[in-house]
Amino acid sequence: MIPILKVSGTHREVGRQIGEATAAVVRAAVAFDDALPPDRTRGEQLDLARAHRDVTVAATPWLVDEIDGAAEGAGVEPLALFAASIEEIWDVRPSQAGARAGAGRCSDLVAGPPATADGHLWVGHNNDLARTAEEDIVAIEWRVPGEPVVFSLGIGPWISVGWNDAGLSLTGNELSPTDDRVGVSRLLMVREQLTARSIDEAVTMALRPDRASSYNTVFAHRDGRVVNVEGSAGDAETWGLDEHGALAHTNHYVHPRMLSYEGDPEYAVSSSVRFERACALLADAAPGAIDAAWLRAAISDHATSPAICRHKGDSARSHTVFWCIADVTAGDIRYGAGPPCDSVEQRYAFS
């Protein structure tokens, strides 16, 4: 079972509470000397992190307050934890020798009318990390005065997916853009986006001009809108559901205009297997057939290699460490640890 942590207070206070509760994970994250990129010292890595931190403090200081609070709660150096939060200064290309095992690989399937049985908007997501990460997944309910209540799944203070009581859903997929730069890290931007009260506000946050890079971010809202943001540091394309009410994405650029930003073409071939399978499943669904059970079966699919559902016995390094299915319209989230084909369902609903 994935533990749930409920935190409340100022940004500094919620960060401190998360740091205390996930101290083992935080302390392991800052012990990164053996994971440094080739020919780079710890001091040089911290200098790079400091440059990103300066931009973030100037633009969105509360993001730094939360990370500093987590560092305080876990008893670690704040700059070191900030460095662990900046994916752009680490090797996250999965096909490269020595790539971090924690690099995230994920699959998203989204459906709305006319594809869904109840006319609601549904999102299914598998989150693939190193197999050992499964035990570190935590669900967090965030309550900061003046902001929407947020429910998230991730590791330590870092959010992989999340939702808020203003009706926003955020899932997505890690990409390997070629134009990374000094700026606000994409990992920290996820936390900011979950404070948005509308999908337009969330998209604006995802496209902030001072970003260091970008994920492919899938935004959905209880008002029925879906916006997929396939971005890099300096460019992006957006689109929504197709005419059948469906959308899928995995871990490579698919929009024709964004293909030139693909930094890991070798992995893109592998990612496209999952993408094409997800698209086929959605296309083959009869109108009005998609519901929670259909999505659970789809994200449990093993028909391809690599499969959408990835676990013991697969040749890939990545393992589905958690899954989630959200009725975005109703604000009801089902989720569980490990692959969805063999997992205990947990549930969270916004009141």
Q: CATH number, domain at 344?
A: 3.60.60.10
Instruction: Confirm if 275 and 248 have CB atoms less than 8 A apart.
Output: yes
Domain region containing 167: 105-349
Beta-carbon contacts of residue 292 (< 8 Å; ≥ 6 apart): 122, 325, 327, 334
Residue 95, domain member (yes or no): no
* Domain boundary, last residue among 56, 89, 122: 89
* Domain boundary, last residue among 63, 89, 115: 89
The reported pLDDT for the residue numbered 133 is 93
Phi then psi for 133, rounded to 5 degrees? Answer: -75, -15
How far does Cα 78 stand from its chain's mean position?
A: 23
Instruction: Confirm if 73 and 19 have CB atoms less than 8 A apart.
Output: yes
Residue 223, domain member (yes or no): yes
Beta-carbon contacts of residue 287 (< 8 Å; ≥ 6 apart): 114, 115, 244
Instruction: Confirm if 277 and 308 have CB atoms less than 8 A apart.
Output: yes
Instruction: Confirm if 275 and 281 have CB atoms less than 8 A apart.
Output: no
Same domain, 73 and 41: yes
Same domain, 147 and 40: no
The 4-8 sheet, strands edge to edge: 4-8, 137-143, 150-155, 158-164, 168-173, 216-221, 226-231, 236-239
In one-letter notation, the amino acid at residue 176 is S
Same domain, 66 and 130: no
Residue 208, domain member (yes or no): yes
Same domain, 151 and 291: yes
Q: How are the residues of the chain apportioned to helix, strand and coil, as percentages rounded to the nearest 5? A: 35, 25, 40
- Rounded Cα distance, 254 and 53, in Å: 31
Same domain, 139 and 282: yes
What separation in angstroms does the CA of 146 have from each of 11, 222, 310?
11, 20, 39
* Domain boundary, last residue among 24, 54, 89: 89
Q: Tell the residue number behind the tokens 């680490």, with chain if given.
A: 90
Q: Which residues pair with 346 in a beta bridge?
A: 335
Same domain, 23 and 50: yes
- Rounded Cα distance, 216 and 228, in Å: 7
Same domain, 55 and 152: no
- Rounded Cα distance, 196 and 286, in Å: 34
The reported pLDDT for the residue numbered 190 is 98
Beta strands in the chain (DSSP E): 4-8, 105-111, 122-130, 137-143, 150-155, 158-164, 168-173, 216-221, 226-231, 236-239, 246-249, 318-327, 332-337, 346-349
Question: Is residue 224 helix, strand or coil?
Answer: coil
Same domain, 183 and 225: yes
- Rounded Cα distance, 76 and 346, in Å: 32
Same domain, 165 and 250: yes
End-to-end CA distance of the chain: 22
Averaged over successive runs of 10 residues, the pLDDT of the chain (351 residues) comes to: 98 98 98 94 98 98 98 98 97 64 78 98 96 95 98 98 98 96 98 98 98 98 98 98 98 98 95 98 98 98 95 70 98 98 97 81
The reported pLDDT for the residue numbered 104 is 63
The reported pLDDT for the residue numbered 19 is 98
- Rounded Cα distance, 322 and 240, in Å: 25
Q: Which residues pair with 154 in a beta bridge?
A: 138, 159
- Scanning the chain, the segments in alpha helix (DSSP H) are 11-21, 23-30, 42-59, 61-74, 78-84, 186-193, 199-206, 265-284, 292-299
- pTM for the model stands at 0.96
The reported pLDDT for the residue numbered 131 is 87
What separation in angstroms does the CA of 222 have from each of 62, 165, 170, 196, 343?
27, 10, 12, 13, 27
Residue 98, domain member (yes or no): no
Domains identified in the chain, total number: 2
Question: Is residue 1 helix, strand or coil?
Answer: coil
- Rounded Cα distance, 78 and 82, in Å: 6
Same domain, 139 and 252: yes
